[in-house]
Amino acid sequence: MPFRNLKTKFLGKNVYHYERIDSTQKEIWRRIEKKEIKNGTIILADIQTGGIGTHGRTWYTDTKNNIAFSFYIQTDCKLQKLEGLTLEITQTIVETFQQLYQITLHIKLPNDIVSKNKKIGGILTQTKVQNEKVKCIVVGIGINTNQEKFAKEIKDLATSIKKEFSINVENEAVITKFCELFEKKLIERNIINQYQPNCQKN
């Protein structure tokens, strides 16, 4: 399921879409273990039944109206080179919405996206390290875009783009723009050594 009009060298060129899955992040790791994944692969889901948040928390994706995806980056760099990467991902999401919809979102350190002190999205960054080198990066992103109703226990803590800004978000356009912006930053930081979409985990 390739994204339309995607202008990247590798990020997002291979996309696997699930209507329902336990976790996009877990699926990336399963494919890594089987060595069945290409550099830049995205796993996208409508609904996650066991999404992973930071510190072992659960990230709920209980509606088809939101964004939930993970992506895989093959690398071979020192861990120090990834310093500040999660914040840069968060900043890229904020930049994406600014460019597409001219709205301003805020960052709650280290990895939350908020509006009026309510959480709209979050980022989870995981790595695999061997011999003091980072071999791959797996990033999970969840964003409440078009959800209008929230469970009673979280309605005072969470919100969505639609609720805050009365915008109908085109989720594919958001992911496409994010991939284009973030790939440039990966290349600028020299985190990736190969841009070909057919790179495979060894």
CB atoms within 10 A of CB 128: 14
What's the farthest any 2 CA atoms get from each other in the chain?
A: 49
Tokens of 128: 């695999």
Tokens of 192: 């990736």
pLDDT digits (tens, 9 = 90+) for 43-100: 999 998 865 655 445 555 556 789 999 999 999 999 999 999 999 999 999 999 999 9
pTM of the model: 0.90
Burial of 22 (0-12, 13-18, 19+ CB in 10 A): middle
DSSP alpha helices (H): ranges in the chain? 24-34, 85-101, 161-165, 171-188
- The Cα 192–Cα 15 span in angstroms is 19
Pick the CATH number of 15-188 from 3.30.43.10, 3.30.930.10, 1.25.40.340, 3.40.50.720: 3.30.930.10
Provide φ and ψ at 77, rounded to 5°.
Answer: -130, 165
Provide φ and ψ at 19, rounded to 5°.
Answer: -70, -40
pLDDT digits (tens, 9 = 90+) for 125-156: 999 999 989 999 999 999 999 999 888 888 88
